[in-house]
Amino acid sequence: MIGAGSRAMVTGGGVRLGREIALTLARAGVNVCIHYGSSEEAAQQTLEEVREFGVDATAVQADLRDPVTAADQMFECVAEVFGAVDILINNAAIFEPGSLDETDESAWDRHLDINLKAPFFLTQRFARQLASGHDGAVVNIIDWRASRPRPGHAAYTIAKGGLLTMTRLLALELAPRIRVNAVSPGAILPPPGSDNEYLQQLAGKIPLQRTGSPAQVTDAVMFLLRSDFLTGEVVQVTGGEHL
């Protein structure tokens, strides 16, 4: 059972949903490694807040545009602090607009590397470092578009669709020692550069007629970590937007 004393790595853990997940884990007594790409100041601030809960914590920088190298760097760093981790939260992602015609090779590679290739090789590295006889859990943060594609974010949607398939595939491949599940958020936070007006415009299109909060996503993450008879599941935190 995942709980107090467990050790977690959260990618993109310094900002936005990653930050909320890291703080929620720490509140539950979980030791946390916060990965960040370029948000060093925010990651250090989150690290200080995490430590206020009395858990061990560290931060590690790695560029997920080079996924294999990043995975090696991150797990080598965390091994020096924790020895190993038994929770991996694949949260880091980029979200850029682009139709089929607008998406160039650079945008394609960037989305596939960060949003799909990195979670794959991080999970591979996670499985290899987990000590024999120990159980582990992976939670991937995907998107409702993964199961109900909409035009406008081609590379992003394809990468998240791949992450959905990866969740189910690796749940089979890594059982019984490692459970692999996913949380699929809907309208929770506005994209970087947007404000709450962006969310307000979405509310009327959602069956529950409102947007969600980061706490509802972290509740779903903790539910999956604590539910030791669930694997290959996707929890939709969308207010019905995915239907």
CB neighbours of residue 19 within 10 Å: 24
Half-sphere exposure of 128 (CA within 13 A, CB side): 11
Phi-psi region of 83 (alpha: psi -120 to 50; beta: other; left: phi over 0): left
Nearest to 169 by CA among 135, 210, 140, 198: 140
Across the chain, where does the E strand assignment appear? Answer: 7-10, 31-36, 57-61, 87-90, 136-141, 178-185, 234-237
Catalytic sites, residue numbers: 156
CB neighbours of residue 93 within 10 Å: 25
Nearest to 111 by CA among 172, 161, 59: 161
**Per-residue CA distances from 67 to 74, 110, 118, 120 (Å):** 10, 11, 5, 9
Q: Kindly write down the DSSP assignment for every residue of 183-240, as one continuous string.
A: EEE-SSSPPTT--HHHHHHHHTTSTTSS---HHHHHHHHHHHHH-TT--S-EEEESTT
The amino acid present at 211, given as its one-letter code, is T
